[in-house]
Amino acid sequence: MDIVGQGGVVPGPLDRAGSSVRTARPGPAADVRDEASEVERIGVVFVHGIGDQRAGLTLISWARPLVRLIGRWTATTPGVDPSIDPVLTGNIDFSGSTFPTLEVSVPGGTMGKTVHKPQHWVLTESWWAARVSPPSIGEVFRWLVPGEMIRIFRGIVRGQASQGSRAWAAIDAVFSALFMIPAVILAVALYIVFRAFRIIPIDALQQSAFVRGLEFFLVDWFGDVRVLLADRAQAANIRNRVALSIRALHGYGCDRVVIVAHSGGTIVSYMTLTDPALLGDPNLRVDRLITHGQALDLTWRLGHATDPWAADQREDRLYLNDRLQRSLEDVIDSDRETLDWYDFWATHDPAPAGGFGSTADDVTNPEACHGATQRIFNRMSLRGDHGGYWDNDEEFVLPVARLIERQDLTTPTRFFPVEPALSRAAHREHRVRLLSFAWLAVMLTAIASIPVSMIDARLAGDSGNLEEFGQAAFEIISWIYGAVASLIGGFIELPTLPATITGLVAEILGIAFMVGLFLAAGRGMVSVWNRWDARERLLALQPAPDQRSTRTLSAQLFICAAGALSLFFFATSGRIETLIPLAVTLAVAIGWSILTGSTGQIVRGDAT
């Protein structure tokens, strides 16, 4: 794993013994037997990100991988009583009307020369999605497009360039542009369509799923950021929700309280911890902040944190006394002495966009708050990295469990050894990079094939082109359409399709099917990788990881990527028979991945 800060990327594990980290608060010495029998209670507040989350789902979905890890740990670790069900109690009604909790038992025991006390983790969530009244679509649109969208795009490209080689930075910049520029154009088009539909005085049209989907995209995913920046009344209401959760955990008798926040939840958590009105109360003490996929850098960028004293009085600008403008480092030094901060960011997550230190907008960073920032590898994907943290057992779930378990990170962890070679993280990074290489090969083939197919279709003497393929595809669509029409013909009369299509229409349909074939090739490749990843994640959760060489995975991904090349030959010929290699290679790769070995044998060290 890499520790990343303003000084760049340096090698070193988060849990390295003897590292310069904040230790636990000193306390009176106790007899070893008393320490082993005393149950330590640790409260954990999950703070979800921006979006329309349902009450209780964040608690369930984030607790699941932690419970799974604890179960695997008890099943494979000598000196620990095995238990596949560490959950003691649960109280979640999915309505948000009661305080939700899950209490998890973490056994103690003697591991090596270290005596670990048993622990009870009281997990809860701070559900703030229902406490937001979002701004109108017009407000969000005028705020984001085009100026702030350009700032976001520049931040993403700059962040990606800060964590890789120049070659990969150039590739990421190209693919980010291919993704972000159409996204901005689509946002403009959707806004225009939305406004047009809102003008039409037909209630069924205004309340249609299409219109509601547009509203969700434009308001729920961007509007909450503007609320936290500009609407001080609503921001106070959201902060109070987090404070209530912290106070409730202290009421449950928790010795320590940890906040785990994601995306927009990191903004909410930061504002809560820097709120002067919430300082000095022992029932609001927080001992550790764990953030992942943080959106603080994005918010500081949109709020112009580097120029907070500008006199334009824009409501979405941060000023000197804004809670998001206050340095958490200063708050820790003066009012929250027990708090430290650890952050995780994925390589291609567009929210942190390179992590702290990649831009000049940082108000503070975890390293200044007695913590660290850690780069991890989720999928190396703009689309998949932001929501993929809890699927990364080796680099995220396991370190988070260790951060919850101990306040003093210089003491040995109970959750599996920290191997000197960092084999768990190294295996994870290696197989994610293999997936990225394979995706790059498929995407480059697609980028080359589609324009070639359009040019080749217009060459003189071309005997098989996209028009013919589009006509063949239309025949398949007509057959399916006819079958459906015959089934429901007695209830509703469907319009009749033309007998055939020609010219540009047929070519467009051919290109659409060609894009669909690329997506199918990519999905087949991802299914191969997902199957391998699931096995490796299981193998990683044991004291001595028995993870295998990735040569087999490399071969399977190479077969998928090579099969996609057949689409290039199809682009120049338009003949359907050239797609046979694609179908064969995908079948071989997926079948091989299903039959590849076992998941490995899990044996406890004290087994006889």
Q: Which amino acid is at 512?
A: A
Beta bridge partners of 116: 109
pTM as predicted: 0.83
480 assigned to some structural domain: yes
Which of 412, 439, 461 is the C-terminal boundary of a domain? 412
Going by pLDDT thresholds of 50, 70 and 90, the confidence category of residue 65 is very high
251 assigned to some structural domain: yes
- Of 303-317, 431-445, 576-590, least confident by mean pLDDT is 303-317
Total count of residues recorded for the chain? 608
93 assigned to some structural domain: no
Centre a 10 Å sphere on the Cβ of residue 75 and count the other Cβ atoms it contains.
15
Is the domain of 437 the same as that of 553? yes
28 assigned to some structural domain: no
If one compares 198 and 425, the residue with the highest pLDDT of the two is 425
State the residue range of the domain holding 463. 430-595
C-alpha distances in Å from residue 260, one per residue of 45, 239, 403? 6, 15, 10
Is the domain of 474 the same as that of 403? no
Is the domain of 385 the same as that of 441? no
Res 454 pLDDT > 80: no
Structure tokens at 344: 């995780």
601 assigned to some structural domain: no
Structure tokens at 221: 């995913």
pLDDT score for 90:
93
Measure CA of the first residue to CA of the last residue in the chain; give whole Å: 35
Structure tokens at 69: 């890890």
Is the domain of 485 the same as that of 442? yes
Any idea what DSSP says for residue 130?
G
Is the domain of 399 the same as that of 493? no
Structure tokens at 128: 């703030």
169 assigned to some structural domain: yes
Q: Give just the sign of the alpha carbon dihedral 397, 402, 405, 409.
A: negative
Is the domain of 358 the same as that of 450? no
Beta bridge partners of 345: 375
Is the domain of 351 the same as that of 446? no
154 assigned to some structural domain: yes
Is the domain of 392 the same as that of 441? no
Which of 354, 382, 412 is the C-terminal boundary of a domain? 412
pLDDT score for 348:
85
Is the domain of 232 the same as that of 268? yes
552-586 tens-digit pLDDT: 889 989 888 888 877 777 776 666 677 788 888 88
d(CA 345, CA 354): 7
Q: Give just the sign of the alpha carbon dihedral 387, 389, 390, 391.
A: positive
Is the domain of 446 the same as that of 582? yes
Is the domain of 256 the same as that of 391? yes
Beta bridge partners of 120: 41, 105
400 assigned to some structural domain: yes
d(CA 590, CA 529): 9
Is the domain of 441 the same as that of 407? no
Looking at 257-323, list the stretches that DSSP marks H as alpha helix, in order from N- to C-terminal side: 264-273, 296-302
218-230 tens-digit pLDDT: 555 565 677 787 7
Structure tokens at 337: 């002495």
Structure tokens at 401: 């469990």
Q: How many domains does the chain have?
A: 2
d(CA 87, CA 535): 24
Indicate which CATH number applies to the domain containing 153. 3.40.50
Structure tokens at 223: 């509007």
